[in-house]
Amino acid sequence: MERKLLMIPGPIEFEPEVMEAMSIPTPSHVATDFIESFGNSLDMMKQVWMCPSGQPFVVAGTGTLAMDIAGANLIEPDDNALVVSTGYFGQRFANLLKRYGAKVTLLTAPLGDIVPMEEVEVALKQKKYKLMTFTHVDTSTAVLNDPKPFGALGRKYNVLTILDGVCSVAGEEIRQEAWGIDVVLTASQKAVGVPPGLALLVVSPKAMSAWKNRTTPVGNFYADWENWLPIMEAYMQRRPSYFGTPAVNLILALEKSLQLILKEGMNQRIARHRKVGHAFREGLKTLGLNMIPINSSVAANTLSAPYFPENVNGAAVIVGILDEGVVVAGGLLAEIKTKYFRVGHMGMVGRTEVVTTLKAIEASLMKQGIKIEKDACLKTALETL
């Protein structure tokens, strides 16, 4: 099978060293070397999340499981929850919290925009909320929220804050402890740079205290921190423990990826993603493509969501890009699903991947009869880089 460049919003292209770390014969989950690797991973998560006092959790599963773990442990029946939505995954969080008995207030942003913080604060003034969730980067729209003011409002109104960082952790700026964010969750297959299969969270002492003070049992056995906290504490103390068998090879890959992330440096990595994201968007604009985010201040640096040109067969454009050796993703938001596509540019993505992807998009659009100045998008992107 011909190898294609994978430029979807996860899974992403992974570093060869990460794949090599994952490929060894599977060790026991209580072997001394594995215990050390798991403990190292948990320690490094606190550095990547920038939350030295936080409690990390690594559980076999997806980003949706990470959302579920946060909701299951922090919501009790009839708790008020405020969900600030910028797309598909905000609505998913609202539906999830309702399953655990939350009374959910949903604030929905206009397409391509964010909910103004003034509107969020008005909602927080109207009633007492247990928690507030927001999506840092919504994978369906490529809209970026600034987490810092959410943390400030959470502290002001004594509301737990949950950042859905599935498409942002290790790619966008997150200073969890300094900004007062109580839970930052993600999945392994995006900017963290590990194949799919790990749900990752770091939880503040305040959120752990809220969980400990519950008056009702957690309504999800697999997600319950009562089962997982002793396991995480044991591995952090380099002791064996068991509740459910961990995804051993994925955790070995996680250790290597976190080492590479920290070797690059968090500030440098965030700056690189900003530069790559900006360059890619500028290249797309040179191709005449408009973005879902209404302006650059709310545009993610980990993925882009451009509209197809008018009167063009979007499915044919995606197939044409594939024919050029690059895999991109179709639309996800139901109301405009056929009108746009999505390109991930996170993790190891740099100049080569940006150029290859823009060339493939340009070639596909030209096949559809779109008049484009050949290579102008590449020149724009490279000048920006």
CATH of residue 329's domain is: 3.90.1150.10
pLDDT of amino acid 288: 96
Residues 374 and 307 in one domain: yes
In a shared domain, residues 248 and 273: no
Please indicate, yes or no, whether the overall pTM of this predicted structure exceeds 0.85: yes
Domain CATH number, residue 192: 3.40.640.10
Judged by average pLDDT, the poorest of 1-5, 338-342, 350-354 is 1-5
pLDDT in tens, 121-137: 999 999 999 999 999 99
Pairing status of strand 198-203 against strand 183-187: antiparallel
Residues 296, 331 share a domain: yes
Number of domains forming the structure of the chain: 2
Which pLDDT tens digit goes with each residue over 214-244?
A: 999 999 999 999 999 999 999 999 999 999 9
Render pLDDT for 244-281 as a digit per residue (tens, 0 to 9): 999 999 999 999 999 999 999 999 999 999 999 999 99
The average confidence (pLDDT) of the chain is 97
Please indicate, yes or no, whether residues 248 and 317 belong to a single structural domain of this protein.
Answer: no
**Under 8 Å between Cβ of 306 and 340:** yes
Number of residues that make up the chain: 385
Q: Are 137 and 149 in contact (CB under 8 A)?
A: no
Token digits of residue 39? 């403990």
Amino acid at 31: A
What region does 238 belong to: left with phi over 0, alpha with psi -120 to 50, or beta? left
31 and 163 fall within a common domain = yes
Neighbours of 2 (CB within 10 A): 4
Confidence label for 291 from pLDDT (cuts 50, 70 and 90): very high
With H, G, I as helix, E, B as strand and everything else as coil, classify residue 82: strand
Determine the structural domain holding residue 206 and report its residue range.
16-264
Do 254 and 271 lie in a common domain?
A: no
Task: Assess whether 208 and 278 both reside in one domain.
Answer: no
* Model confidence pLDDT, tens digit, residues 84-124: 999 999 999 999 999 999 999 999 999 999 999 999 999 99
pLDDT in tens, 319-331: 999 999 999 999 9
The single-letter DSSP state of residue 352 is H
Residue 111 and residue 250 in one domain: yes
**Average pLDDT over every residue of 307-316:** 96
| Final residue in a domain of this structure, among 210, 238, 264 | 264
Torsional sign, CA 166, 168, 169, 171? positive
Both 237 and 316 in one domain: the answer is no
SS3 content of the chain, % helix, strand, coil (to 5): 45, 15, 40
d(CA 256, CA 231): 21
Last residue of a domain, one of 223, 239, 264: 264
Question: Does position 1 have pLDDT exceeding 80, yes or no?
Answer: no
